[in-house]
Every structure is written in C-alpha cells, then in structure tokens.
Structure 1
Amino acid sequence: MKTKSNEISIAARLGTGFGIILIMMLAISLLGIVKVNTIEASLSQISDVNNIKQRYAVNLRGSVHDRAIALRDVILVSDTELSSVIGKISQLDQDYQKSVTPLNTQYTQHPAGNNPLSEDEPAALEKIKMNEARTSLLIQELISLRRSGHLQEAQQLMLGEANPAFIEWLASINQFIHLQERMSEAESVKARQLAQHFQTLMLALCVAALLTGLAVAALVTRQLQRILGAEPYQVKALADAVNRGELFHQVVLRSGDQDSIMAVLDKMSRHLQSTVTEVLNAASEVSRISADISHDNLHLAARTEAQAGSLEQTASAMQQLTATVRQNSESAHKADQLAKKASDIASRSGTIMSQAVQSMGEVNVSSHQIADIIGVIDDIAFQTNILALNAAIEAARAGVHGNGFAVVASEVRNLSQRSATAAKEISALITDSLKKIETGVQLVEHAGTSMLEVVSGVRQVTAMVGDISVASTEQQAGIEEVNQAISMMDQVTQQNAVLVERASGTAQTLTAQADDLNQIVSIFKTKPLAKQTLLRLSDTTCTPYVAQPDFA
C-alpha cells in the first residue's frame, strides 16, 4: 500500500497537537514550581530565619527585662533573700546565653539552608553585644556592692548607671526585633508580589494554552474532517452498509472531495458493486458452461467407453492376427531354410549327376576299349586254336613221342576254344553293355539336363520363399507395430475415459463451486429492494431516504 511521502499521519497530528499542549502545561508547571519555590524560599526566610532570630531576640529582651527587675530586687530584698535573687539573676543570664549563643554563632543555619545576614543585622548584634558586656559589668559590680553592705552605693549605681544601661540594652534588642519585623515584612511583600505576578502569569499562560489547544483542536478536527470526508458515524454507517453487502447506497460528497476516506469508500463501493456484478454474471455463466460441460462429458464418457470396448475387441483380433502372421512368418522362415537346403541338395545332385554323366562317358570309352581288347583276345584265341591244331598235327606226326605234346596241344586247343567262346560271350555282353551304357549315358545326360532345370527351379523357389520370408517378417513387424499402436490407442482411450470421468467430476465440482460462489456473492446487493433505506451524505448531514423500486 503506497502513501504520500509528505502526508502526516493522524497519530502524528494528534501527537503534535497534544504534545504542544503538554509542553505548554509542562512549561507552566515548571514556571509554577520555580515561582512556588521562590515564594517558599521567602516564607522559609520569614519562618525559619527571621522569626527564629526574632524569637531569640524576644527571649533576650525578656531575660534582660527580668534581670533588670531582679537587680532592683537585689537592692530591695533583705540579706536572707539576696541569694535567691542572685541565683535568679544567674539563671536569667543562662537563659540569655541560650538564646544569644545561636544568634551569634548559628543564626545562618536553619532547616531551609544558609542565609547570610542583612546589611543592618551585624551592627545591631554588635550593639547588643556591647550593651551586654557593659551592663554585665554593672550587674556584677552592683551585686558586689550589695553583698559588701554598701546599699546606698548600690542604689546610686543602679539609678545612675545600671538603669540607663538596661534601657539602652533593651533598646538595642528592640531595634534588632524591629529589624527582623521589617525584614519579615519585606519578605512578605516580596512573596505577595511574586504570588500576584505568578497568578497573572498563570492566567495568561492558561489562556494561551487554552487558545493553543483550541487552535490545535480546530486544526486537527478540520484535518480529520478533510481526511474522513464526513462525520465518523457517517463513515461507519457506509462501512457497515458495505460490510452487510449493500453496495447500492448513494453518497453525495463535499465539493472537491476526491481523496477522503468517505470518497475512497464510495469509490470502493462502486468498484466493488461493478466487480460483484461481473462476478455474479461470470458465476452464472460458469455454472451454465460447467453444466453443459458436465452433460457433454457424460455423452463423451459413454462414447469413450463404447470406443474403448471396440478398441479392446480390435486389439484382441489384432493380437490373434499377429499370432497367425507370426506363425506364418515362422513357417515361411522354416520353408526358406528347407528350400535353401533343397537348393543345396539339388546343386550337389546336379554336380554329382554331371560327374556321373562324365563317368558314364568314360565308361563308354572304356567299354569300347574293352571291346577292342576282347577282339584282340578273340584273335589270340583263334591263333592259339590254330597253333594247337598245328601242334596236334605235329604230335600226331611225332607219334608216341608226341603224345604228351598232343595232350598239351589238346588242352591248349580246348583252352583257346573256351577262351574264344568266353571272348564271344564277353563281347556279346560288352556289346549289350555298350548299348545299355549308351542308353544310360543318354538317360544320364537327360537326367543331368533335368537336374539342372530342377536346380534352377529350386533356386527360383528358394528365392521366392526367401522373398516370402522377408515379406512375412516385414508383415509381422508391421502387424506388431499396428498391434502396439492399437494397444496404445486402447490405453489412451482408457486414460481418456478416466480423464473424461475426472472431467465430469471436475465439471460437477465446478458447478457446485459456481453455485457456492453464487451463494457467497449473493450476500452483496447491487440493487436496493423496494422501500429499502439508502444512506445519503450531504454537505452537513446524513439523512436516510427511501429508494424507489426502479432505483439502480
């Protein structure tokens, strides 16, 4: 909260005003104390100094007077009574000394303090002292004459010297007493003058303090009225009305009043009235909007729940489809592996078939070579048969000596015949084998060609199965991503359903709070009811008046 830096607070104003009055009262009190102390000092001078010295002087005068009578009795009494009279004179002298001693030595000491002698007192005391000394000598001389029996000389001394001495002694004492009376009178006059002056001064100061107090009170009152802008009860009435929620009261301020408390309260009331009106409208709008939101949230919640159910079924179907695609992918992967194995086997079979064709060609070549060899063997058997025949002829020619050779020749002939027969049979078999080998070579060549075609087809099938496996893997990955997306959509839908429920609850809570806000703000009345009293502040008075029904 910001305030003007040069603005003086109410406490400071009141403190300053009452401080000035208190300072004046303090000054008056201090001045009164000083004057009273002065008057008290004068009265103390009279009562504690002058009166005491005067009382001592009166005691001296009484003692001197009584001694004068007693000294006369010394001449008049008989010898038997003389001692008592002399004793009385001694007692009176002691009484005199009791009064004259403090007067001479302690006249400046008294309870009020130290008081020096006046200008005339030392001479008066000195004169009393001189008369005392002279008269005391005459008293002693007269008593001595009376004791010695010289009564007539004593009478002459009494009449001639002692009596005038006593008279002068008493006169000096009376002079001192009169001096004390004059001094007391002077102190009394001084005290009366001080009292009169003090009375006049006190009256003047009281009038000045009263005028100052009135001026300060008027100034503070005017400042308070300027600050308040109205009477305190009027400010309180408007504040109470605002406190009751009545924001429709009209306030007519003094002319030019813009920053008083009443003006600020009026501005606050009008601003608060505008704010409360806007709050009421906003609360009503919030209540209506929150009701619409709550209604829409209920429909949204139902649709979200239905969507969540559909997504849940879709997620279940996608999970099954994902499992099927995963199984197909695994089967395709296994088929790809089998196709690769079949391709490898076909490749190896083609290689073996090529090797077999090559071997069959080599066997065909070898068969022809064997046929040639068999022809050679047949030729050898034929030649051997001829040789055996020739040997048999020669053995027959030899006769008995040629029997063994004839047997050998017969055996060789048999052997050559069998060799020729075997050669023929082998040749027939080899010929048949060559035919079969040629047929086998042709078949192997056809089988090799077919095997190469099979290997090429297996390789194509392997490539296609590989492509199917890759596609199945990609399809599986895509289906899994779709499944994850649907699962996430299902989770989001479930979360949305929860949020919708929360939003519905929040909307209901907002509706309740809007209703509470309407109830809370409803205590403020921006329009007066019919026949409701309004506060109207004029320049001088605060008079209530009855508002019209259409007053806004």
Structure 2
Amino acid sequence: MLVVGSLTLWRNDRIASEATAATDDAQDLIRKSVQWQGMTQTAVARSMASAISSDPAVGELFKANIANDAPEVAKLREQIAAQAQRPEDQAKLKEIVGLGQALLAASKKAREAGAAGDWSATSRIVQNEYAPAVKLYLDAIGQFVAMQEARAATAREAAAAARASLRWQAAIGALVIAAVGLFTAWLLIRAIVQPMAQAVRVAEAVAGGDLRSDIQPDSRDETGQLLGALQRMNQSLTGIVGQVRLSSDSIATGTGEIATGNADLSQRTEQQAANLEQTAASMEQLTATVKQNAETARTATQLAQTASTVAAEGGQAVQEVVAVMRQIDESSRRITDIIGTIDGIAFQTNILALNAAVEAARAGEQGRGFAVVASEVRALAQRSAAAAKEIKGLIGDSGARVEAGSRLAGSAGETMGQIVEQVKRVSDLIAEISAASAEQSQGIDQIGDAIAQLDQVTQQNAALVEESAAAAESLKQQATQLHQAVAVFRL
C-alpha cells in the first residue's frame, strides 16, 4: 500500500508539474509577445511620425528612439522564435518577418519622399502603402499573441482537467488502498488471530484435562509453528498420561498381588518353622544311620583291598603267559620266513636245472651225462619245494593256533586287567563311601547348626513379612491416589 500510495503521489506531482510548466511557458511566451507587440506599435508610430513630420529635429528624435529600441525588439523577436517551436508558430513568425520587410520598404520609401521635400508624395505613400503595411504587420503580431493566449487557455484547461483527473485518481487510489488494507487486515486476522484463538482453546482444554483436541496446522509461519508445537505437546502429554495411567494400574495390581503374596508367605513361614522341627528329629535318626554306614564301609574297604591283591596276582600270571605266547608266535614267523627263503632257492635251482638240460640237449652225446645230473637236480629241487611247502603249511597252521592262543591269552589278560581295575574302583568307591560317610557325619552336625540358624532366619522373615505387608498397603494407597490424579485427563 505504501508503494501504491507513493507511486500515485509521484504521478500526481509529475502531472501537476508538467501542467504548471506548460502554463508557465505559455504565459512567458504571451508576456514576451505582448511586449514585442507594444514595442513594435511604438516603433511604428515613431516611424510614421518621423515620416510625416516636416520638422527635421522631430524626425531625428524619433529615429534616435527607434534606433535605441531596435536591439531590444530584435532580442525579443529572437527569444520568441527560439521559444515558439510549434510548426504553426514558426509559420506565423515567418509571415510576420515577410510583412516586416514590406513595412520597412514602405517606411524607407516614405522617408526618401520626405527627405526630398515632396510632402504630398510622402502623405500619399504613408496612407496608401505604409499604413496598410503597418496594419498587416501589427495584425499578424496580434494574431500571434492571440494564438499564444488561446494555447495558454488550452493549457490552463488541460491543467484543470488534469487536476480534476488527479483528484478522481486520488479518490479511487484511496478506495483501492482502503480495500487492500481491509483485505490485508482480514488476512492478518485469519492468519494470526484465528490460529491464536485455536491455540488458546487448545491450552484451555489441556488445562482442563482434555487431551482430545484435533490440531491441524495449515501454515508454516509463526502461528503454524505454534500450533505444531501445541500438537506435539498434546501428543506427548497423551502418551505420558496414558503411560502413567497404565503404570498406576500396574502398580495397583502389583501392590494387591504383593499383599496377597505376603499373606501366603506368612503362612508358608509358619509351615516352614514346623517343618524345621520335623527336620531336626529326622537329622538325629540320619546321624545314627550314617555312623553305621561308615563302619560297614570300613569293613568293605578291607575286603576290597584283599580281592584287589588277588586279582592283581592273577593278572600278573596271565601277562606272563601272554608274553610266552608272543615269543612262540615270533619264532613261528621267523621259521616261516626261513621256509620262504628255502622255497625261493628251490625255485631258482629248478630254473638252473632247466637251463642245464637245455644246454645238455644242445651238446648232444657229450652232454647226456650232464643232462642226467640236471634232471636229478631238478627232481631234488621239486621235492625240496614240496617239502618246504608242507612245512610252511604246518608252520602256518601252528602260527594260526599260536596267534589264536595269544589272542585268548591277551583277552584273558585284558579281562584280568579289567577285573583288577574294577576291583580297584570298587575299593576306591568303598573308600570314598567311607570318607563320604565321615563327611556326612560332619555335614549332619553342620546341618543341625544350619537348621538352628534357619529357625532364627525364619523368625526374622516373619517380621520382614509384616513390614512388607505394611509397605505394600501404603504403596497401594499411593497408587490409588495417582490413578485418581491421572483420571482427570480425558484421552
């Protein structure tokens, strides 16, 4: 609105200044034109008087006056010509210049006739030529002045019309500014007052415990940010109150359960005290039984030690048998290897006999005796191989039996070892049982002491149960008060 008002005032000032300047220019031009017209009329009158006067002194006087005023008249004419730039003004000035030249020619002619002393010719020239030229010249100047006055009147009318238009424009501008101001005020009321009123309503609702307000900020300005903050505050309070309400309900439920549990605990404490008395009586019986078990365990330990010694001796004998069987098995393996060597020798001898027979056959009669020897050697090698094979079979059978015996002896040795181990474990277990029985006897004594302490602790627990019941009741009352305080809020 300030910008619109400033622009309107500036435009009004500009139009008024232009109208004033135009009026001032027109008035100045009129003033100069009227002055020019008056001085021209004076100069013409002096020139006419100088032309028709028979007294030379008068003529010279008027000529001097005309000569004195001529520069000022010329200066006014130049100023008017420079200021009047409109085409019609320039045309009228051009016409005036032409009429002025005709006037000067008539004036010169009249002065020449007067100088010659021909006054009748002078009078005739003045009346017939000079006077009409003066009239035309002065009429033209009068028309120029009338044109300037008419233009000045038009400028004044235009200025008046401009001022009237400016008044209307100012009135319309004022109405527009007022309308814009009212619209702006309405927008401000809508953008500020209404959101602030909504914020006040929300705050009053929250103060009254109503958290069900639906806040929907519809802008991002300061009021929108305020409503957004109230929305977040309302949501946060809703969550907090809901959590507090749930917590108060949970606390109330928990305190009720604690009170019930304390009552049950009190009953169980009394039952526990009675059970402790029964436990003490049972512990006395258990002490006697444990002592008897300890004596029996000592006797069993002695018997187990004797059995362990016998089993260890049997295991040692079995280990010796196993060692002998292993030696026999090792010897059988060595014999088998030797027989393998003999079998290889017989095989090679047989090959050599075959080669010898082939060579004897090639020798013919000379090698017949050598062939017989080779045949016998071959037969001997075959019998040696057969005997070695039979021995190998017998040794293999014996080795298998020795191996089976070794396995049986080893198994027996392992069994005896396991027996010895089991007997040792039994002996250890019996020793552990004996030690455990002694420890149990000590433990039972400690249990008796612990039962006495437990009885004391049970009595202390009974006192604590009463205190806990009182605290639970107080907590239940506080939870009820908290629930009542939170119940004011409506979610």
Instruction: Please indicate the TM-score interval, normalised by the length of the shorter structure.
Output: 0.3 to 0.5
**Alignment TM-score, normalising by the size of structure 1:** 0.39
* Higher share of residues assigned helix: 2
**Alignment TM-score, normalising by the size of structure 2:** 0.43
